[in-house]
Structure 1
Amino acid sequence: MKFEEKLKERKDWELWKEYCGFLDLTIDEFMAIQNRLMLEQIRKWRTSGIGKTILKGRNPETIEEFRKMVPLTSYEDYADSLSLKDKSILPDDPVVWIQTTWEGGRHTIKLAPYTRSMLETYQNNMLGCLMLSTSSGRGDFDVNPKDTILYALAPLPYATGIFPLLLNDAISIEFLPPVKEAQKMSFSERNKKGFKMGLKKGIDFFFGVGSVTYYVSLSIASLGSGHKSGSGSGGGDGKKKISISPAMVVRLLKAKHLCRKEGRDLLPKDLFRLKGFMCAGTDNRLYRDDLEKLWGVRPMEIFAGTEPTCIGTEIWSRDGMYFFPDACFYEFIPEKEMERSLADSSYEPRTCLMNEVEEGEKYELVISVLKGGVFMRYRVGDVYRCIALENERDQVRFPRFEYIDRIPTVIDIAGFTRITENSIGRVIGLSGLKVKDWAAAKEITENKRPYLHMYVEMEPECLFSSAVTVNILKEHMGVYFKYVDEDYKDLKKILGIDPLEITILRCGTFDTYYRGGKEKMRRINPTQYEIGELLKSQELVSAFGRRPERSV
């Protein structure tokens, strides 16, 4: 029976128990589900071609044996096998292949096969997210087949493209604009069409990457402010009229009157009454307050990815994420273990399970995809903090997490980039710039926007030429970042932002830093202390060097 049919025939509480009942689990019950599904997965995976390749003749029978025999994996361990899309080596037959960017400057794409059972679990968990996004407490939700949802998602073969397909298979919620049309439109065209349709039909749900939803929200505010009152716009100038419902005409007139009275711009919340607002991706915490001001509804964060599928969601209180017990088997690398393994690739860090995490600690997530998935003991590259082991207020009795960021060796800007030491090295090499040394960090502006800050020391001969300036470096590197990393290009194209800032350090700064006996600084995301010490070191350099410059 489809979800839409269940809405008509079953009581709300029964639906809640089916899709959101995992919130009633104790930690022991949570682990029982994890262990049962993981044992089923081990039996499938160990006999597959890809499983045999990684196991190298070992044959684990229990979860404990599995964790001892199978090393932690990364995409390199699967790349050659998956690139051929050979289903004969997989634990189960794939229904669809999902892809995403791997690492700019080094690799092309990641591929992830999804089985039918994985898609069924994905669908159930996404429906749970939909219900929770409208909820104000346990058992409460407001989802209707006549609802509308603003389309702000990347289409297939990206993971977010699964969401509208799975949702439409369960309930006839209308996407604005329709998915088939949206996939053929540019980002700007999609925004305008969705807004026009929203004026006619209203907007009940909004779901997308946090940075993208923010940009779309600003676009809607701009379009709304420029719209003429009445049933259409531009009646005599040849522009196509926009059909608006009578209720929306009244709301638009009232909103514009209120905005003039309060001396402010029109906001999306003045026109639309969202039932539910969901955000996915990195850096959501930097956009959530602004999004709440724009829409009058606080976004609910969920976590979904190409390899793990949909694995976690916030609930009505919007203060932390809970993992679904049936999507993946979860392991956690404590922060100190993660740091040691990143510094020494030969070190195998220890992991703990969901019932072993500690409140306040940070962890790198490790997943084993259930229901016939291919990725086992897989380092996703994301870091979480355990907020609490239980939530007495919301009566949830297993751990709650908040998403922190990507692992320290990766710089992810607004969910659009995967910048590594390798990709920056390639950019510098392609640019032909005579860079002696550098460090790069993800930093946050005063208005809470992420950017890439590079600290660059040039070769001495370059600094005697007035041609080498911050703007020249920024222009050169920007060109090659776009060449090396396709997603970096989208930051400018879709979000209209240039994430690169450069500080030129005096010649000899890095030598002076290390002369003090300090350990080698990590080039990607050095600590704030290390950056501070680096800037102090340049002040000790003799005055003949060029004074530091910073891009605007």
Structure 2
Amino acid sequence: MKFEEKLKKKRSEDIWNEYCGFLDLNISEYMRIQKRLMEEQLFLWEKSELGKKLLQGRRIHSIDELREKFPLTTYEDYADVLLQKKGGMLPDDPIIWIQTTWEGGKHPIKVAPYTQSMLNTYKNNVLACMILSTSTEKKKFDVKATDTFLYGLAPLPYATGLFPRALHDEISIEFLPPVEEAEGMSFSERNKRGFKLAMSKGIDYFFGLGSVAYFVSQTLSKMGGGGSGKKGSSIVTLSPKFLLRYLKAKRTCKKEGRDLIPRDLFDLKGFMVAGTDNHCYKDELEELWGVRPMELFAGTEPSCIGTETWTREGMYFFPDTCFYEFIPEAEMNKNLEDKTYQPKTYLMDEVQPGEKYEIVISVLKGGAFMRYRVGDVYRCMGLENSEDQTKIPRFKYIDRVSNVIDIAGFTRITESAVQTVVDLSGLDIEDWFAAKEYNENKKPFMHVYVELAPDSLASQAVGKEILKEHLTVYFKYVDHDYKDLKMILGMDPLQITILKCGTFAEYERRHQKKLRKVNPSVYEIKDLLELQKSIYAVRKEGTRIE
């Protein structure tokens, strides 16, 4: 029975229990599901050619033995098989391959296979997300087959393109614009077409990256206000209902001395955001729409793995998508210092409130990835929550792992990428480090600190604006997604600080170690900047710094 038929024939409580019943599990019940599905997956994976290749002749008889003897993996371990789409080597037949950026400047793309069982699980879990996005309390939700959905998603082969396809099989929700039409449009064209349709049909749901949702929301405000061109030029063929609402909203905004915003025109009942940096946009999105966005987590390799509830107080991981392990922060740091170190992991029933963890996944239902480091960090918010009556851990998404700079869900900038940009630029840059930081509006940017060679003409003639302009050209060349930040979101993600000559050498002399190239700690950055001031002051006085 399709979900649409269930809405007609089943009680709301039964539908809730079917899709959202995992929220009623206690931790023992949750772990039983995890371990049963992992044992099934391990049986399939170990017998596959991919499993045999990675195990290198070893035999694994249990989950505990796997965690003890099989090391954590990264995409490099799978690349030769997956990039050539060798489906016959996998634990189960892939139905579709999903694509995303691997590492800008080094590897263009990575792909991940989805089996039919994985797609079935994905479908059930995105329906759970839809239900929860409209819920105001346990077992109360508002989903209808006549609902409309503003299309704010990247199309296939990207992971978000699965979302409308999955819903299409289950319910007659109308996407604005229709999926087949939207997939052939540019980002700007989709926005304009979607808004025109929304002004006659309304919007019930909105889902996108937090940064994209924010940009689209601002764009809708401008369109609705006729901000550019002739007055009302963007309002085309309104239904009588929306014409009345539009005119009333314009009068209210004029009286209150403010611009038109989406909540003046639309009654959104389900609002979902995914990706990185959502904490930078949630408050403003709530102000714009009058609805607090519900954060969920989905990725190319893990599929849709987690969602918030009506409380918006942390994400819960679906027990049937992946088997989860967690690397605690202390172990992450050891691994950063020593690349050969194998960090210890904890299971879901071993995590502690307040601790930060890098997540490790083994994809269930015939997936390819085993003990795989996705590269995302979460904080455990608690083991129980009386407000939504849960007895399993919940998590808050923090960011990508510290050796990756991800801006608004668009970039994957690593040390290799920045070094490539520096080398291509031809500038006499003696040393550098890069950090993800936030401006006064709490929006993310990449801050690159450079030290120019002391005897170069560049150190005398190049200002930071020229340096920024020069490096931006090469960042766009090296990382194609970097271009989208400007083209799609209108963001300029790069800031430059030029350090005094000798700063890095003096830091290394004092601390007997080099500064980490990407995302050193705030304390290390502060220490280096204070050291630079000391160097400058001492040089003015003509004495040596000790």
TM-score category of the 2 structures, normalised to the smaller one: over 0.9
User: Displacement of 1:542 after TM fit?
Assistant: 4.4
Question: Which one of the candidate residues 257, 270, 273 is aligned to 2:251?
Answer: 257
**What are the residue-to-residue correspondences of 1:337-486 with 2, within 5 Å?**
337-462=331-456, 466-486=460-480
User: Displacement of 1:227 after TM fit?
Assistant: 7.6
Does the alignment pair 1:62 with 2:62? yes
> Against the structure 1 CA distance between its residues 545 and 135, is the aligned structure 2 distance closer, same or farther, given a 3 Å change threshold?
farther
> Against the structure 1 CA distance between its residues 464 and 54, is the aligned structure 2 distance closer, same or farther, given a 3 Å change threshold?
closer
Partner of 2:313: 319
Partner of 1:121: 121
* 2:453–2:459 contact (8 Å) kept in structure 1: no
The one-letter amino acid paired with 1:303 is: F
* 2:206–2:272 contact (8 Å) kept in structure 1: yes
- Divergent runs of 4+, >2 A: 461-467, 517-520, 540-546
In structure 2, how many angstroms separate the alpha carbons of the residues matched to 1:333 and 1:213? 31
For the residue of structure 2 that corresponds to 1:319, the secondary structure is coil
Partner of 1:225: 225
> Against the structure 1 CA distance between its residues 534 and 10, is the aligned structure 2 distance closer, same or farther, given a 3 Å change threshold?
same
User: Displacement of 1:461 after TM fit?
Assistant: 2.2
User: Displacement of 1:434 after TM fit?
Assistant: 0.8
Question: Which one of the candidate residues 254, 272, 275 is aligned to 1:278?
Answer: 272
Aligned residues between the structures: 538
The superposition leaves residues 156-211 of structure 1 with CA deviations (integer Å, 9 ceiling, x where unpaired) of: 00000000100111101000001111111111111111111000000000000000
Does the alignment pair 1:215 with 2:215? yes
Partner of 2:17: 17
User: Displacement of 1:541 after TM fit?
Assistant: 2.3
The superposition leaves residues 264-292 of structure 1 with CA deviations (integer Å, 9 ceiling, x where unpaired) of: 00000000000100000000011000000
Q: Could you tell me the percent identity over the aligned residues?
A: 62
In structure 1, how many angstroms separate the alpha carbons of the residues matched to 2:349 and 2:73? 22
Partner of 2:74: 74
Partner of 1:88: 88
In structure 1, how many angstroms separate the alpha carbons of the residues matched to 2:167 and 2:85? 26
In structure 2, how many angstroms separate the alpha carbons of the residues matched to 1:347 and 1:4? 50
Does the alignment pair 1:516 with 2:510? yes
> Against the structure 1 CA distance between its residues 233 and 290, is the aligned structure 2 distance closer, same or farther, given a 3 Å change threshold?
closer
* 1:462–1:468 contact (8 Å) kept in structure 2: no
Partner of 1:533: 527
For the residue of structure 1 that corresponds to 2:511, the secondary structure is coil
**What are the residue-to-residue correspondences of 1:174-213 with 2, within 5 Å?**
174-213=174-213
Unaligned segments of structure 1, at least 5 residues:
547-552
The superposition leaves residues 33-71 of structure 1 with CA deviations (integer Å, 9 ceiling, x where unpaired) of: 000000000000001011001111111121111112211
User: Displacement of 1:519 after TM fit?
Assistant: 3.0
* 2:425–2:470 contact (8 Å) kept in structure 1: yes
Partner of 1:153: 153
Question: Which one of the candidate residues 476, 498, 503 is aligned to 2:492?
Answer: 498
For the residue of structure 2 that corresponds to 1:203, the secondary structure is coil
The one-letter amino acid paired with 1:34 is: Q
* 1:278–1:299 contact (8 Å) kept in structure 2: yes
Partner of 1:310: 304
The one-letter amino acid paired with 1:408 is: S
In structure 1, how many angstroms separate the alpha carbons of the residues matched to 2:460 and 2:188? 40
Question: Which one of the candidate residues 329, 336, 361 is aligned to 1:335?
Answer: 329
* 1:309–1:327 contact (8 Å) kept in structure 2: yes
In structure 1, how many angstroms separate the alpha carbons of the residues matched to 2:517 and 2:131? 43
User: Displacement of 1:515 after TM fit?
Assistant: 2.3
The one-letter amino acid paired with 2:308 is: E
For the residue of structure 1 that corresponds to 2:409, the secondary structure is coil
* 1:417–1:485 contact (8 Å) kept in structure 2: yes
User: Displacement of 1:467 after TM fit?
Assistant: 3.0
The superposition leaves residues 468-524 of structure 1 with CA deviations (integer Å, 9 ceiling, x where unpaired) of: 111111111100100110110100000001100000011111112222235321110
User: Displacement of 1:465 after TM fit?
Assistant: 5.7
Does the alignment pair 1:170 with 2:164? no
* 1:102–1:110 contact (8 Å) kept in structure 2: yes
The superposition leaves residues 106-156 of structure 1 with CA deviations (integer Å, 9 ceiling, x where unpaired) of: 112111000000000000000000000000111111011110000010010
The one-letter amino acid paired with 1:374 is: A
The one-letter amino acid paired with 1:164 is: P
For the residue of structure 1 that corresponds to 2:374, the secondary structure is strand
In structure 2, how many angstroms separate the alpha carbons of the residues matched to 1:462 and 1:172? 65
Q: So what's the TM-score if we normalise by structure 1?
A: 0.95
> Against the structure 1 CA distance between its residues 545 and 160, is the aligned structure 2 distance closer, same or farther, given a 3 Å change threshold?
farther
In structure 2, how many angstroms separate the alpha carbons of the residues matched to 1:517 and 1:83? 42
**What are the residue-to-residue correspondences of 1:92-111 with 2, within 5 Å?**
92-111=92-111
For the residue of structure 2 that corresponds to 1:329, the secondary structure is strand
The superposition leaves residues 225-281 of structure 1 with CA deviations (integer Å, 9 ceiling, x where unpaired) of: 1189xxx965xxxx9x72212111111111111101110000000000001000000
User: Displacement of 1:315 after TM fit?
Assistant: 0.1
The superposition leaves residues 395-424 of structure 1 with CA deviations (integer Å, 9 ceiling, x where unpaired) of: 100001000000000000000001110000
* 1:439–1:455 contact (8 Å) kept in structure 2: yes
Q: So what's the TM-score if we normalise by structure 2?
A: 0.96
Partner of 2:33: 33
User: Displacement of 1:342 after TM fit?
Assistant: 1.8
User: Displacement of 1:464 after TM fit?
Assistant: 6.8
In structure 1, how many angstroms separate the alpha carbons of the residues matched to 2:371 and 2:312? 29
